[in-house]
């Protein structure tokens, strides 16, 4: 079972009482820390962290930003689009859960520009969450080679996807198929948060919903038991 850390010492942005100037913004707060208790409080409130550059001319001039996209990207568990080629890839590649979390995290960070936000502070924070049983990875293998995967945070029926990578075609998608299968098992009403809807995620079935709708779904998902594979 996941271990509950000490509660955060910070007051995070209250999405019920946002400054009107922030109501339609994705970035709703700055500061605090990435302690396990802070991260869990944020995800439970509908927030996630990503650093913000305060002064692009100064190296390391960054602060933690707290994000609540408006609209929010989710992938309905009954809406995943599995093409014929992806189905074939699922047959030739195998998946595991939490076998190589550090390797998946590092591989996501090494994706050039797309992974630059996964800095040393982010890596350390999510490794700590993993040690406590809250952050998880799905790995895709070709033989003994790690060729794809994803990681994110699981709280009850919520899986907040953070990043994915691939080294062979469809490898990250195969990990996503496994993730959806685990989240939807036994008729579970889970919530797969993908933050923003990109063209790639839209092709897999991701949709955009309002912040208020996301929070309604989040509240319900937090009451659902987590998949047994992560407990």
Is 19 strand, coil or helix? Answer: coil
**CATH number given to 72-230:** 3.40.630.70
E runs forming strands in 125-210:
135-142, 145-155, 158-166, 191-195, 207-209
Predicted local confidence at residue 188, as pLDDT: 79
Predicted local confidence at residue 35, as pLDDT: 98
Q: How confident is the model at residue 55 (pLDDT cuts 50, 70, 90)?
A: low
Smallest CA-to-CA distance from 141 within 175, 98, 110, 181 is with 175
Query: What's the pLDDT tens digit per position in 12-39?
Result: 999 999 988 888 899 999 999 999 999 9
Q: How confident is the model at residue 189 (pLDDT cuts 50, 70, 90)?
A: confident
Query: What's the pLDDT tens digit per position in 83-121?
Result: 999 999 999 999 999 999 999 999 999 876 665 789 999
**What DSSP designation does 7 have?**
P
20 or 69, greater pLDDT: 69
Predicted local confidence at residue 114, as pLDDT: 64
Q: Which residues contact 99 (CB under 8 A, 6 or more apart)?
A: 137, 139
């Amino acid at each position: 079972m996941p271990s509950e850390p000490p509660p955060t010492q910070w007051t995070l942005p209250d999405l019920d009482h946002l400054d009107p100037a922030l109501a339609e913004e994705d970035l709703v707060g700055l500061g605090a820390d990435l302690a396990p208790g802070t991260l869990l409080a944020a995800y439970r409130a509908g927030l996630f962290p990503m650093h913000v550059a305060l002064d692009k001319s100064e190296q390391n001039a960054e602060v933690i930003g707290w994000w609540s996209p408006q609209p929010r990207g989710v992938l309905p568990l009954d809406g995943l689009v599995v093409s014929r080629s992806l189905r074939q890839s699922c047959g030739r590649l195998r998946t595991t859960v939490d076998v190589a979390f550090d390797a998946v995290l590092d591989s996501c960070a090494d994706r050039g520009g797309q992974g630059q936000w996964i800095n040393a502070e982010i890596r350390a924070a999510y490794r700590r969450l993993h040690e406590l049983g809250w952050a998880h990875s799905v790995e895709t293998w070709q033989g003994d080679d790690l060729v794809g995967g994803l990681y994110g945070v699981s709280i009850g029926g919520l899986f907040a996807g953070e990043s994915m990578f691939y080294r062979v075609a469809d490898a990250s998608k195969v990990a996503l198929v496994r993730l959806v299968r685990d989240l939807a098992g036994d008729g579970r009403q889970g919530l797969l948060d993908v933050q923003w809807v990109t063209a790639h995620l839209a092709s897999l079935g991701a949709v955009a919903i309002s912040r208020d709708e996301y929070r309604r779904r989040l509240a319900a998902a937090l009451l659902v038991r987590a998949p047994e594979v992560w407990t």
